[in-house]
Every structure is written in structure tokens, then in C-alpha cells.
Structure 1
């Protein structure tokens, strides 16, 4: 009998409503692959793939010029602490449909979200090691759980030009209030505040998701100050904060250690920037059957549907505005971290996984090279 619960429940395409699903192709990178990115159609058929030289440093996207933006794991980055091996990146590549590298930027301290802008510039997250005195000012977390070198690593955000010149930068250590943004008590003190997504807003400011303090914030590009803050009374270890066309914020809310609720479930919420009210929400009708404790993604599609990544279980699905599931696909590929130069986490995640960080969907018009005729 099949011993993998995920495989036993079924892999690949699980269902499609051809009348309500958005037309297009879904892109994802299997995290425990050597560097595989796939594009599948609404029937679950693979229509294109890239086999790249570095394992995924989280996710991939298709740019407006049709090229693939891929974030790979830097082969020579420092080994800061065990879980750093899980979510670090560092090789920010733009490749054409054949896999040929168009441009590349490297930063061995980059992690989680490396956002390729349409003009070839990059907005991404990185870390710096704090000195003993500065690290001690970071509050919360598990006592004595600093990195093996005794440091707390604090997040930074960088915006660099095509040639790698720093155009703008921001440091959590300079701008985050220690009381207001204390680590939650179950988190190690090795990494604060763990920014897992960064997004350029239409007004020029920066949207960021801070996982280990359960906060989504807007950073003033001019001053570096926090000018908007959605706190842990609303979100719980959330991911993938992005801006919609009307200015609302779309968030994948994981739900781990959510306030005032003992049952864990994930949801996707659309939050009005003006008053922080929830304008739209998706949760499964049986809430606890949709849950990923870490990672996760949400993308609003052109027809108003929302693509959701239930990341730890390799599940991608699309829902209508009314919450009806109209497409579901489970990544059929499983592998563990052995052979991927990630020995620190082979014990943490010592099982074959089909996990994805985040998936994206594109209309046929956004990938003109796929069907040139």
C-alpha cells in the first residue's frame, strides 16, 4: 500500500472547471529539486520546464519580457545557522525560455524573496549579523537560541541596479521598534524579524511581511519608518503580501499560533489599506483541511480568481471570488534534501517532500513564446 499520505490522496491534476478557471499556465519550482521549474496547463500537462544549475532559493516568476526570473541557492554562501539552509537564496538569475542566462546578481546573504523588477533592477531581502550589544536589544524568542556564532541576524532590504549598485537600502536594526516588533515566544533568536516577502508599492513605498513577529508593514522609502502596520491580532506567521490594482493588500495568512483560536487553519485575506478591514477572505468550508504551517502564496488573477499555494503539501488551487475551487493540482514530484548540499536540514526534513514556496499563473498573452503561432 502507498505509504505517502499525499501520494495516496492523489497527485497531478485533481479537478478543473473549464468554464470558470482562468485561462493560462501555472509556474512553480519544486524546492527539493536540483533546480527544476515547471509550467503546466489547466489540464495539468507540463508544457515547458527549466533545469537550472542551483536548487530553488524559493520561487520563480515570468517577467513582462517573457523571460524567467529565478532565485537559486548561492553555492558559496556562509552557513549561518541550520534553517538558513532551507530558505536562503543568493543567485538572482534572469534566463530566457531555453535557460540561457540573460543577467545575474549574487548576494550570499539573500533569502526568501528576491523581486525582479521589470527594468532589470532587483528588490530583495538579506541579513546582517548584529553585534552582541545590538543583538541583546532584540526582544522575545526562545532564550539562548541565537545562531551558533552567538549572533542575532537581522533583516535588511536592498534595491540594486542592473549592474548591482545599491540604489536604496533599509535595516530592521535601524528602524524597527524592539517592543512593537518582538519575536514571538516560540521562535529562535537566530533571525529577526524574518522578512519572507517584499513588494514595491505603486506609491513607491515598500510592503513587507515579517513572519516571526506576525506583522505586515509598509516602509516609507523616503524615511525608512513604518507607516502602516497590520499586527498579530489579524495575521499569524503570514506570507506573500502583495498590492492589488485598487491598493488593497492580498496576504496568505498561515494561521500558526493565531490569537484566540486553538484550531489551526490557513486563509487568504484582502485588506483595505485605509482602515485595515478585511474586504475578501478565502478559507476552506472545512477550515482545518486547508493549512500550511510555513510558506504559502496568493495571486489575484486577471479574471478575478485567486491562485493559492498550500506550500508544504505541494498543492496549488484556484478559487473564484465566491470561494469555489475551479482548479486543483498537486505537485507529483517528491524528494528530500540529500545531495543538495544542505546537510544541516537533512534531519529536520528527512522525508521526501513535494513542497513549493509559491506558484504563479500567467495568461497565454503573457507567455507569447510558448505558442508563437
Structure 2
């Protein structure tokens, strides 16, 4: 159990932790970074209050014990590209790692050379977020799920100042408490994946929806497993055909009621391409 993380008498019996691994093609570990060894950096940089009670907030607003402690729940790791911001601020230099810790409402960067967390953002603003990604302008786009807020927001953040420079929201009509993602497109629009609704849509900088797609598998499988779209990426037309050709034996056409066995139809490639 992490020392100092949990209030005395409120510690979990067991704990999960998250580790970043760099592995070569021979499956040898070249470098690793365990978040449980960097709790003090999270506290200092993010202003996260420690110790915390080992509890989970319920839908009724009360806190109750639950399972093994999944205290951080990392859901994204991205190697930062070259950006103008990275050239003037080492916290965001190319090669640093952008991460998301969902259960702490924190995104941040790791400097693998220094072997430490160098930037954090999120508490009090983000709520169960997914897929932070650095844009060409050095800003960070993130799907802020709003798990306890009750509605989702896609935010573009200027990380050095923490300023939110753009965001998309639509109240309770846009809400995915878990998973989901976003992608800034070459035309300046934003592709949004609203996982739990099985909804993909593209919005302009003015927040107009110019394209959308609803999963046809709504309600198939237990717990709506056939409904959700966990993540989506828009590819350039020139890249689509090779990708479809290499993956045609895995196109899902039907999810059986048990949510496990699937039937694949290669001919659906042309249908979904349209």
C-alpha cells in the first residue's frame, strides 16, 4: 500500500499500480516508470490532496469501499512530438510522455531522461478524462468525460498556462462517463468518439456538427457491449484501402447475445467505407 496516500484506517487490502514500460523487439525491458514511486511529484505539481480515504463515490454521492485499489488508472500514454511549445518549455519537449490518470483527474508529462513527472493538470477541472493528445500548435486536446459531473466536454488546453482555449459541450445530450476519445483533423475540425452512446461525430471550430455516425449494434450483447465504440481515428483516404485489406477478416458484423462470439463479413468493408 502506498505510504501516505490513504488515511489511517481507510487503507485497501491490495493495490494496483500503473507502470510505463519501454520494450524492444526481443521483449527486453529497456526502461520502466512506476507511478506509485512518484506520488509526491503528483501531489506537488497537481496540488492533489493526500492522504485520501480509500473510498469510491457512488451515484448517491456517498463514499463506499470497493475492490482492490485502482488508485491511478492510467488510460493514455503518448510520446510528445516536436512542437513550438516543446522548443521553449522542456516540460513539453519531444520525447517526453503525455499521460492520463483517470481516477485522479490528472493529465501530465514524464521526462524519461530525468525519470520524473514534470507537469500536471486537472484536479477541479477534469473528471475521469481520456485520450489527451498534443496538437501541432502545442495545445492538448482531451476528452473530459464528466463521470460525476453528468455531462462530457472536449477541451483544448494551453498547457503552460492551463488556459482552456476551446471546448465542445452539449449538456446532458453529450455524455459518456467512461472511455471515449477525440482527434483534431487536418481541416481544423474535431472528431469526437462518444463511447457509451455508440456515437462518432465531427464538429467545426464553431461547434457545428458536419458529420456523424451511430453504431448499428445498439443493444447487442450484455451490458450493451455491442453498442459502445471505445475509440475512433479518422484516416486519410489514401490510407483506408490498405488498412481495410489488412484487417478485413476482423470486421465485426454481428455480436451474439452472449457478447462473445462474432461473425465477420469481409463484404461489409465497402458498406462501412461509404
Q: TM-score w.r.t. structure 1 length?
A: 0.53
- The 2-side partners of 1:371 and 1:212 are apart by 35
Cα distance, 1:356 vs. partner? 1.8
Cα distance, 1:274 vs. partner? 1.7
- The 2-side partners of 1:360 and 1:324 are apart by 19
- The 2-side partners of 1:190 and 1:301 are apart by 37
Query: Which residue does the alignment assign to 1:241?
Result: 132
DSSP-derived class of the 1:367 partner = helix
The counterpart of 1:174, out of the listed 37, 48, 70, is: 37
Kindly provide the CA deviation profile for residues 286-326 of structure 1, in whole angstroms up to 9, marking residues without a partner as x.
x1110011111000111111110111121111111111001
Unaligned runs of 5+ in 1: 1-133, 259-263, 338-348
Is residue 139 of structure 1 aligned with residue 6 of structure 2? yes
DSSP-derived class of the 1:369 partner = helix
DSSP-derived class of the 1:158 partner = strand
Kindly provide the CA deviation profile for residues 181-223 of structure 1, in whole angstroms up to 9, marking residues without a partner as x.
7568526452120001111112111110111010111111112
The counterpart of 2:19, out of the listed 108, 132, 156, is: 156
> Does 1 or 2 have the higher relative contact order (CA < 8 Å, sep 6+)?
1
Q: 1:254 to 1:371 in 2, by over 3 A?
A: closer
Query: Which residue does the alignment assign to 1:335?
Result: 220
The counterpart of 1:275, out of the listed 161, 164, 167, is: 161
Cα distance, 1:168 vs. partner? 2.1
The counterpart of 1:254, out of the listed 105, 123, 145, is: 145
Query: Which residue does the alignment assign to 2:234?
Result: 361
Instruction: Map residues 1-373 of structure 1 onto 2, 5 A cutoff.
Output: 134-135=1-2, 137-139=4-6, 143=10, 146=12, 150-177=13-40, 179=43, 180=48, 185-186=55-56, 188=66, 190-202=69-81, 203-258=94-149, 264-284=150-170, 287-333=171-217, 334-337=219-222, 349=223, 351=224, 353-369=226-242
- The 1-side partners of 2:163 and 2:28 are apart by 39
Q: 1:352 to 1:211 in 2, by over 3 A?
A: closer
Count of aligned pairs between the two proteins: 215
DSSP-derived class of the 2:20 partner = strand
More strand by share: 1
- The 2-side partners of 1:352 and 1:204 are apart by 36
- The 2-side partners of 1:221 and 1:370 are apart by 32
Unaligned runs of 5+ in 2: 58-65, 82-93, 246-274
Cα distance, 1:246 vs. partner? 1.3
RMSD: 2.5
Kindly provide the CA deviation profile for residues 254-289 of structure 1, in whole angstroms up to 9, marking residues without a partner as x.
11234xxxxx210101111221111111112xx111
